[in-house]
Structure 1
């Protein structure tokens, strides 16, 4: 065996020359087709995502937790409860124009009349103040360790008063009180200021006190046990509704357990006989019948979910609960004119909520049997994580493959191989040849741009915003946006000028691009596990452009590539998005700031520390000399 190995290692020059020429052909092929192959992987992944809304790539939803038994109980929400809801609706119409103090006292008084332990909570968070009203029914058969929540905001997502939603909540309070089969405490909550009020109540309920925010001490706040499930009511106005929409997206792309959504769907379809959809979109099958009509409806629902998840914005007040490992869904009444013969009002709303709460009352432990990672093309079908994750892996493989080719298959090193092979007279080069690659320069560039990203994140901090608001009032947000643009521009210009002026051979754009692509691939693979939609959107923005961008001596191509990268920068994308939806840039950025500072969205952190630094590094790459 040793003699055979020795004979192979002592081969003649002709065999060595042949091996080097063979390697050279392989290297040349990989260098030439690495980028097209990466783009091909991207196209395959994109087609895969577009196929997900088809029924062939999804499965029918089912109840995993057998204890829920949705729709298997007799409901008692009847004529007297409907009359009570109508009376509450009339009272709410008369007080909804009053200030929040009088409205919250009204809710507190009505719930105390029913027999609940009621209280109000004053809060002041980030300049938004309000009063929440809530009550707890400590059921006779409960040990106080578990609770269910029925909540309703004063204002609907449509901008109207949530009159029917709060009226239904108050009428259900009487039904909850007169029945003794509840095994969990029931909490009724009416929130003010939307997400801010919900966040303030959750922090106080869980004992999180922040100076200058909630004024009701968590020590004196009435509370029950661990919250097992939440239904948030959003029924705007005083008229009947055409269909029921479900909003289930939480902060940073979190989703409730699929069993909760399935329970509401089964009860709505089988017990309450209510048409159900996702979000506030009514599926119209008359215009486009057949498979394609179903596909476009499903694609619309998937894209709507991804739109909420990308920026980490909760689609409703219920999304706030998911941060505390509490499964929650908002049920939204949708007005329409397509099915006027099938409108529903308080009766079917009450039946839906009573039957759903009866199912949640059966829970023996926290939701855990079903999925927490899924996509919903429609209420009755889901796409599991094993089906929708491969496209993101393909996007990451596209970038990492190109990164490895750029790092290991250096044409200069290949030329050294060829020259050494021709100069060695019968001697054999070592089995493993090591070529020193200039890694200090790319590491220095990446360090500079990430430091700039940290400065950007500091500019977006609540303390900075507070100081700017005191100093510049309404111009504070514009100053922050201008500062971010200034930091990015100065960083790119200064480093690019240094690179072009020095012209050092160590300023290797090939290694810099390799590290940028490798870092982007790592980010996509990691983020996809936490927020699939953010990973997909980032891939769509960067995979093809970053694959094509390269150093060039032509000022025309430099300018063209810099313009492309500027459009793909965070400011460029926000400007493009604001133009497409017809919303002012300041409004969009202020919403992102609110999500970051109040509901603790990670999106701005991701942009400042991950996405924007890589974008700046790719700008600098254009001005490097070697490739």
Structure 2
């Protein structure tokens, strides 16, 4: 009985509300440390192929000899088409594929983004597998230009050569589609959208011929010039749109064939030299997280992954002794492995972090780090909710206070036992929720304005628009706080509830996002972490309280509030975006143009998280802190003095 009485009495203990900031800080620290220990051998493991039917590297490849002469002839043809009109180039590529005995078709596409028109034409051909029933297909992609805008001479020529070479084999149990896209992003996106009948007929032409369900896609990025260029390594690009990843078995198969069967070293995330040290593993993992967090298309393969089509891009890098025949045999062996599949890749992981070509961490190991970051917001929001329901003056009896009488006690029944608890210990004041709910809802709806502006305005006005919106986001919290002080000054409870509801939504959104895009959830959570610890500094009450503390708060309230507002200005999403672009040497206009292109072409939703989750939370926290500058002392009844 005494235990029940003590537990219920703890509700009014002021020390309880001092714990949540330390718990939140502990969650953030543990979450970051959790991520930093992942590259260690004890927390990561070697990659392996789960699907036994793939049998990577178990077949003899025959792409040699006379095929080299065919390749060089096609590369010469491709070089001659560089300066030709689009229609002539498309016609010539179609004729080459048709001469190999394939069904050929073309597709036009046109997108509008940031005042620009992204248009082009895809050429594709279908090889009907002699042992296939047109229910499954594999795609081989050679974009005309790669992600850097360089003409993919050898890549396109290799696709044409492999089309002619694969046609002569009778072992294919799946159809093979050869796609020469107009570029590395819009072209593959238009084609795969039309293939799945999810395109807009106004901007994308439907496909005239199709095959079965796509089981996988391999893109070749080999931008060697008209005279060829030998390479040293294969850079395997696997990041998809919005942080989605292909099945790990496809990546492992490519690495096993290239490094094991062909003797070609493999690298990823632009880590050209990897000595398998802790620092190199950590750097590779962080690069992969940043790429997934941005959610942009990293190659022609990225457009296929949202349709659950596992895809990667094989990119040649460096100067070495490997040539197009080595790459051709790698692709041949990879297609032979995919040809063995009896069902869609499903046994291996779809959520993982790679630290090198042969080491990874699965979702069960790394997910707690992002969840801990998200939990810290929830802990603080619960503490603020409890605080908002507590009376202004806590009953803290001293030795001189009289013992409560029976009329001041409340009977609490538990398991056929009755405990008498002081009524003051259970007192909860009524919460005023209208203003907090309206404010938080309005803040999230306000984020729709920059989301629409940056995704739709022309490129020419992006720079002034960005600087204008950045200045507005820095000034808007102070203007909002001042306006509220003129019309309806929020009480301390309402201010606490605004911050409570805002942090509760952030914790909920980031927890859900962590299961879809771990990297984006973790990065946004770290950037928004200061919002957990900022608090408004109110003036001391008109009566009551310690004289020394009241004097200190009265003298330093405004400087402390301004210092906290300055801290929040530094962690403003717009300021962080500017700092990140300058750190990586990028142009902010290029970043905004690519983001707008991703919105209209790829279906990128990173901007949604920034403007409808992160920015509203920052805005609410900034308004709460700025509002304490205009606050006035409250009386013991909680009403502001007039």
Name the counterpart of 1:408: 386
Residues 1:591 and 2:594 are matched in the alignment: yes
Alignment match of 1:231 (pick from 175, 198, 218): 218
Aligned pairs for 1:148-187 within 5 A? 148-187=138-177
Per-residue deviation, 1:422: 5.5
Name the counterpart of 2:620: 617
Name the counterpart of 1:444: 438
Structure 1 22/70 Cα, relative in aligned 2: closer, same or farther at 3 Å? closer
Per-residue deviation, 1:530: 0.8
Alignment match of 1:333 (pick from 301, 310, 316): 316
Q: Deviations over 1:522-578 (max 9, x none)?
A: 122111011000111011111244323444563333332223222322211221112
Name the counterpart of 1:378: 356
Name the counterpart of 2:553: none
Q: Deviations over 1:435-474 (max 9, x none)?
A: 323333321220221221233334345xxx2xx54xxxx5
Alignment match of 1:297 (pick from 280, 293, 316): 280
Alignment match of 1:320 (pick from 303, 306, 318): 303
Is there any run of 5+ residues in structure 1 with no aligned partner, and where? Answer: 10-14, 286-292
Name the counterpart of 2:271: 281
Name the counterpart of 2:564: 561
Name the counterpart of 1:496: 481
Residues 1:538 and 2:538 are matched in the alignment: no
The separation in 2 between residues aligned to 1:430 and 1:21, in whole angstroms, is: 13
Higher helix share: 1
The separation in 2 between residues aligned to 1:551 and 1:193, in whole angstroms, is: 55
Aligned pairs for 1:434-513 within 5 A? 434-460=428-454, 465=456, 468-469=457-458, 474-478=459-463, 480-481=465-466, 484-485=469-470, 488=473, 491-501=476-486, 502-505=488-491, 508-513=494-499
Alignment match of 1:575 (pick from 550, 565, 578): 578
Alignment match of 2:206 (pick from 217, 233, 255): 217
Given that 2:531 and 2:621 are in contact with CA atoms closer than 8 Å, whether structure 1 keeps it comes out as no
Given that 2:188 and 2:303 are in contact with CA atoms closer than 8 Å, whether structure 1 keeps it comes out as yes
Is there any run of 5+ residues in structure 2 with no aligned partner, and where? Answer: 413-425, 540-556, 635-642
Given that 1:20 and 1:417 are in contact with CA atoms closer than 8 Å, whether structure 2 keeps it comes out as no
**Counterpart secondary structure, 1:56:** coil
Alignment match of 1:79 (pick from 45, 65, 74): 65
**Counterpart secondary structure, 2:80:** helix
Structure 1 range deviating more: 370-379 or 150-159: 150-159
CA RMSD of aligned residues (A): 2.6
Residues 1:56 and 2:42 are matched in the alignment: yes
**Counterpart secondary structure, 1:130:** strand
**Counterpart secondary structure, 1:264:** helix
Per-residue deviation, 1:585: 1.7
Q: Deviations over 1:64-108 (max 9, x none)?
A: 111111111121111111221122222222322323322222211
What is the TM-score with the length of structure 2 in the denominator?
A: 0.86
**Counterpart secondary structure, 1:497:** helix
The separation in 2 between residues aligned to 1:454 and 1:487, in whole angstroms, is: 15
Aligned pairs for 1:61-140 within 5 A? 61-126=47-112, 127-140=117-130
Name the counterpart of 2:322: 344
Structure 1 167/508 Cα, relative in aligned 2: closer, same or farther at 3 Å? same
Q: Deviations over 1:323-358 (max 9, x none)?
A: 11111000100124xxx4xx2011211110011000
Per-residue deviation, 1:251: 0.9
Given that 2:107 and 2:123 are in contact with CA atoms closer than 8 Å, whether structure 1 keeps it comes out as yes
Structure 1 108/430 Cα, relative in aligned 2: closer, same or farther at 3 Å? farther
Structure 1 520/595 Cα, relative in aligned 2: closer, same or farther at 3 Å? same
The separation in 2 between residues aligned to 1:97 and 1:300, in whole angstroms, is: 40
Name the counterpart of 2:342: 364
Given that 1:245 and 1:331 are in contact with CA atoms closer than 8 Å, whether structure 2 keeps it comes out as yes
Structure 1 range deviating more: 406-415 or 164-173: 406-415
Aligned pairs for 1:247-266 within 5 A? 247-266=237-256
Given that 1:139 and 1:185 are in contact with CA atoms closer than 8 Å, whether structure 2 keeps it comes out as yes
Structure 1 481/211 Cα, relative in aligned 2: closer, same or farther at 3 Å? farther
Structure 1 range deviating more: 77-86 or 202-211: 202-211
Structure 1 90/415 Cα, relative in aligned 2: closer, same or farther at 3 Å? same
Given that 2:248 and 2:349 are in contact with CA atoms closer than 8 Å, whether structure 1 keeps it comes out as yes
Name the counterpart of 2:637: none
Q: Deviations over 1:203-261 (max 9, x none)?
A: 222223424312x334xx11111110000000111211110011111111100011111
The separation in 1 between residues aligned to 2:26 and 2:483, in whole angstroms, is: 36
Alignment match of 1:424 (pick from 404, 407, 414): 404
The separation in 2 between residues aligned to 1:590 and 1:387, in whole angstroms, is: 36
Name the counterpart of 1:288: none
Per-residue deviation, 1:618: 0.6
**Counterpart secondary structure, 1:598:** helix
Given that 1:118 and 1:135 are in contact with CA atoms closer than 8 Å, whether structure 2 keeps it comes out as yes
Name the counterpart of 1:605: 608
The separation in 1 between residues aligned to 2:198 and 2:368, in whole angstroms, is: 39
Aligned residues: 589
Per-residue deviation, 1:284: 4.2
The separation in 2 between residues aligned to 1:223 and 1:303, in whole angstroms, is: 39
The separation in 2 between residues aligned to 1:157 and 1:510, in whole angstroms, is: 48
